[in-house]
Amino acid sequence: MDAAANPMEDETERLRRENQELRAKLADLESMITSLPVPIAISPDATTEHIEVNPAFAALLGVDTDFNISATGPDAQRLPYHICRNGKNVDPQDMPLRKAGRSGQEVHDELEIVRDDGIRYHIYGNAKPFFDETGAVRRVFGAFVDVTDRKRAERALYQSMDALSKANTELQQFAYAASHDLQEPLRTMSSYAQLLERRYGGDKEASEYTAFIVEGVSRMHTLISDLLTYSRVGAASELKRAPFQLGNALQWALLNLDHSLREKKATVTYDEMPEVIANESQMTQLFQNLLSNALKYKGDLPPLIHVGAESDGDEWTVSVRDNGEGIKPEYKDHIFGVFKRLHGREVSGTGIGLAICRKIVENHGGRIWVESDGKNGSNFRFTLPK
């Protein structure tokens, strides 16, 4: 009887070949796991009393690849490291592979390896159970990512943010104290200049000089009190926000400017304003600064001002558009700086109004900018997160 005619032998040959293929696949898989640069741990059963690691994981733990990292099995060895979660030692029963083996559920975890030699690593990953045909856990597989560098960078970022916020608060306190304390000597200078004028006022030149002193002092006083307002706007971290109708802040600003609006024969129109989560008094100040600029820098025509609001994804964009003299595009960033002005003494102001606007908007997580061709009015726009 030839081989082709023997079905038993055919079947044996097929099984032998399949077995060989399976072994080859398994060997490929094993060498893949061995050479993968990510930390991998495998338990061959649900008890997780024996857990093998690949070279990448062994290198992080500072052990050999034949080391059983399960701390509970009968062949458990003393571990040359300990594992922490959120700074606390993790109980062996609470390790991700063990939990996955016990519960039959996938477990995500972030752990810190603290080695006896002082080296630390942060790993993040998951442990996943595999089941046999009866539904029982057959094997547990854990794959992790070494996130040590990312964690270090995060920590450094938090530290510098903390230092920055402290420096900012100190600077603010300094600006406040300095502007407050500077007012006092100014008052003295002004009073004595006026006294001089009263006593020796007969001399024309002397009168003129004392008038200069009084004027200088008064300008200095305005500068300092504007600086005080700027420092009072505070830091984003101190901002108290609550939901309110932005239209209320606009109405307050219009009320505060009522006199100038009438005097300049201005017309103000506005869209329906949204409800926002913000600081109401700062929003009032923001509108007031932008509206008073629209009046101050009006062109030859009576001011026409429109306040608009539009929804734009996850933020609101609010605009204050005027028909005034406009701003040349090359100055569109410059004007938001402290004490930056494009006008001289002919128009009153210290150049701090828009710096305050920018601080308010940025503290609220928004942006502010101006659109203008330098001829046909300006459109100041700012965003507020929803």
**Residue 73 binds ligand ADP, judged by CB under 6 A:** no
Residue 377 beta carbon to ligand ADP: minimum distance, rounded to whole angstroms:
7
Query: Which DSSP helix (H) or strand (E) runs through 233?
Result: none
**Residue 294 binds ligand ADP, judged by CB under 6 A:** yes
Dist. CA 102–CA 305, nearest whole Å: 69
Query: Which DSSP helix (H) or strand (E) runs through 385?
Result: strand 379-385
Q: Which is nearer to ligand ADP, 53 or 294 (CB)?
A: 294
> What x-and-dash track marks residues 254-293 binding ligand ADP by CB under 6 A?
-----------------------------------x---x
Beta bridge partners of 320: 307, 380
**Residue 325 binds ligand ADP, judged by CB under 6 A:** yes
**Residue 342 binds ligand ADP, judged by CB under 6 A:** yes
**Residue 112 binds ligand ADP, judged by CB under 6 A:** no
DSSP 3-state assignment of 331? helix
Query: Which DSSP helix (H) or strand (E) runs through 330?
Result: none
- Strand pairing of 267-270 and 304-312? parallel
Binding to ligand ADP, residues 123-142 (CB under 6 A): none
**Residue 68 binds ligand ADP, judged by CB under 6 A:** no
Choose the binding region for ligand ADP from 128-136, 256-264, 294-302, 309-317 (rule: CB under 6 A): 294-302
Choose the binding region for ligand ADP from 52-60, 137-145, 235-243, 351-359 (rule: CB under 6 A): 351-359
**Residue 297 binds ligand ADP, judged by CB under 6 A:** yes
**Residue 343 binds ligand ADP, judged by CB under 6 A:** yes
Dist. CA 264–CA 301, nearest whole Å: 10
Q: Which is nearer to ligand ADP, 125 or 366 (CB)?
A: 366
Q: Which is nearer to ligand ADP, 241 or 341 (CB)?
A: 341
Alpha helices in the chain (DSSP H): 7-35, 55-61, 96-103, 148-200, 204-232, 246-256, 258-263, 280-296, 353-363
Cβ atoms of residues 226 and 349 within 8 Å = no
DSSP 3-state assignment of 236? helix
Angstrom distances, CA of residue 109 to CA of 122, 128, 317 = 11, 11, 41
Q: Which is nearer to ligand ADP, 70 or 293 (CB)?
A: 293
**Residue 375 binds ligand ADP, judged by CB under 6 A:** no
Chosen residue from 62, 216, 308, 351 binding ligand ADP by CB under 6 A: 351
Cβ atoms of residues 213 and 193 within 8 Å = yes
Provide the binding-site residues for ligand ADP, judged by CB under 6 A: 289, 293-294, 296-297, 322, 324-325, 327, 335, 340-343, 349-355, 378
